[in-house]
Copies of this chain bind each other. A is one copy, B any other.
Amino acid sequence: MNDFALKGNILHTAKMGELEIFPDAYLICADGICQGVFYEPPGQYAGIPVTDYSGLLIIPGMTDLHIHAPQFACRGTGMNAELLDWLNTRVFPEEIRFADMDYAARAYQIFADQMRKSATTRAVIFGTTHRNATLLLADLMEASGLVSYIGKVNMDRNAPEDLLESSADAAASDTRAFIRDVINKRYARTKPILTPRFIPCCGDALLFQLSKIRQEFDLPVQSHLSENPAEVELVKTLEPDAEFYGDCYDKYGLFGGESGTIMAHCVYSSDAEIRRMKENGVRIAHCPNSNTNLSSGIAPIRKYIHLGLRVGLGSDVAGGQTESMFRAIADAVQASKIYWRYINHHDKPLTFAESFYLATKGGGSFFGNVGSFETGYEFDALVIDDSKLPCPRPLSLADRLERAVYLGLDQTSITAKYARGLKIL
């Protein structure tokens, strides 16, 4: 048994948009599972170790539904380009470097170290097409203590030859080998995920192979969808018979399903595409920082929430400039304000508590019962010390949390971090 309690100011959003606040309370963990929040710990927990974080903020860990590990060295650079140019001039040349295992080891160690220090406890991660480098990434993420899905990327067209898989068959064989490698590693915290890059880089033969692999291993899927107008047009040209962009994935059973699918962006999804996402249970990774940096646009998140689609947040490093999920929360609110002002005045801006929910329980649900402190939820928690921000008067706990997020205290002030009950910081 590994039972313990944290004492402090506990805040979470078990329900969309409802910030619950428990000042000076106890959060109890037993065997990695949250036992709930208490002002007095129940008798059966008498004597368990209590770590006293009195005065600090205790909140759920964050889920990053969309991040590219090999692009970590690119973050905050080349930000004058739009999506397709940026891929060609910045991203593909960087990803090619991961053929070199020495480079991959240096780069992925930096990535894993930073993810450990971040607010993120759960991440769904793109690697590159390189099987060995991506397996190394999985090793390092397992060692980091985060719980994550790692995808070896598949792509066989419209990119430099050095980055492409040589054929659909070769891609399938390499991908199966990667999946078996991961299974054989018997990781406690790391799983594989199918990762067709996006339709411009994936031909039908490749998608067909992935559909077979999905059936064989019952894997979730991650990819990109309707991110940028030029990309959406390119997909129409490449796949004229598809009903809409997402239909290209759906034809091969890579768009929804029991094992789960995450589609990043969904800025320009048509009504038909949105209906299919809803029917198929496709999850949306909303990446507002990236969508701004690449001049893509603003995804209609209020509409998706209203329609009952499942939405979480993604940092999308390196379209997004930072892995900070606090930044993603604030960015989602900010983007929704501009959306409301200029694009659809019926779609009210996200509130802070709504965006906080998206970053915790919204995205966390991809991992099961993750992202709040409800009883039975996996124990992912952050302790934030905001005392370095001097203030001439006391602030409410709600204001302190909002301030911590807006001022990005996840970059400087995480005192402790737990993922599935394990203290990793």
Task: Report chain B residues within 8 Å CB of A22.
Answer: none
A140 to chain B, nearest CB (A): 13
Secondary structure at chain A's binding surface: helix, strand, loop or mixed?
helix
Distance in angstroms between the alpha carbons of A293 and B411 in the assembled complex: 21
Tell me, in angstroms, the Cα distance from A341 to B230 when the chains sit together: 12
A395-B77 contact, Cβ under 8 Å, with A293-B337, A321-B330, A337-B292:
yes
Choose one: B110, B295, B321; the contact of A407 (CB below 8 Å). Answer: B321
Of A298, A322, A341, A399, most B-chain CB atoms within 10 Å:
A341
Residues A73 and B406 in contact, CB atoms below 8 Å apart: no
The answer to whether residues A73 and B407 also contact, given A293-B337, A342-B297 and a CB cut-off of 8 A, is no
A158 at the interface (CB under 8 A from B): no
Partner of A77, one of B343, B351, B392, B403: B403
- Find A392's partner among B80, B107, B404 (CB 8 Å cutoff): B107
For chain A, residues 319 to 370, give those with C-beta under 8 angstroms from any C-beta of chain B: 321-322, 330, 333-334, 337-338, 340-343, 349, 351-352
**Min C-beta distance of A325 to chain B, whole Å:** 15
Knowing A80-B352, A322-B407, A393-B103 touch, does A337 contact B75 (C-beta < 8 A)?
no
Residues in B with CB closer than 8 Å to A406 are 75-77, 79, 321-322
Question: Are A405 and B76 in contact (CB-based, < 8 A)?
Answer: yes
Q: With A97-B393, A321-B330 known to touch, is A402 a contact of B110 (CB < 8 Å)?
A: no
Chain B residues whose CB sits within 8 angstroms of the CB of A334 once the complex forms: 292-293
Q: Does A408 contact B (CB under 8 A)?
A: yes
- In the complex, A412 has a CB within 8 A of chain B: yes
Tell whether A42 is near chain B: CB-to-CB under 8 Å.
no
Contact A106 B392 (CB under 8 A): yes
- Identify the interface centre among A322, A342, A404: most chain B CB within 10 Å of its CB: A342
- Measured in the bound complex, the distance between the Cα atoms of B113 and A349 in whole Å is 34
A391 proximal to B (CB < 8 A): yes
Give the complex CA separation of A388 and B208 in angstroms: 45
Select one of B73, B97, B322, B338 contacting A298, CB under 8 A. Answer: B338
- Whether the Cβ atoms of B338 and A76 lie closer than 8 Å is no
Q: Are A295's CB and B342's CB within 8 A?
A: no
| Interchain CA distance A295-B334 in the complex, whole Å | 8
Chain A, 387-401, contact with B by CB distance < 8 Å: what is the 0/1 string? 000111101000100
- Cα(A407)–Cα(B403), bound, Å: 18
A78 contacts the other chain (CB 8 A)? yes
Instruction: Provide the bound-state CA to CA distance between A351 and B298, in Å.
Output: 20
* Chain B hits for A352, CB < 8 A: 79-80
Smallest Cβ distance from A352 to chain B, in angstroms? Answer: 6
Q: How far is the CB of A25 from chain B (nearest CB, A)?
A: 22
Kindly list chain B residues whose C-beta atoms are within 8 Å of the C-beta of A76. Answer: 402-407
Given A73-B393, A292-B334, A392-B73, A399 contacting B341 (CB threshold 8 A): no
Q: For the A-B complex with A73-B395, A77-B399, A321-B406 known, give 16 more contacts whose Cβ atoms are closer than 8 Å.
A: A73-B392, A76-B403, A76-B405, A76-B407, A77-B402, A80-B352, A97-B393, A110-B392, A292-B334, A292-B337, A292-B338, A296-B341, A297-B338, A297-B341, A298-B342, A412-B412
Q: List 16 A-B contacts (CB under 8 A).
A: A73-B395, A75-B406, A76-B405, A79-B330, A79-B352, A80-B349, A80-B352, A106-B392, A110-B391, A297-B341, A321-B406, A322-B406, A338-B338, A342-B342, A342-B343, A408-B411
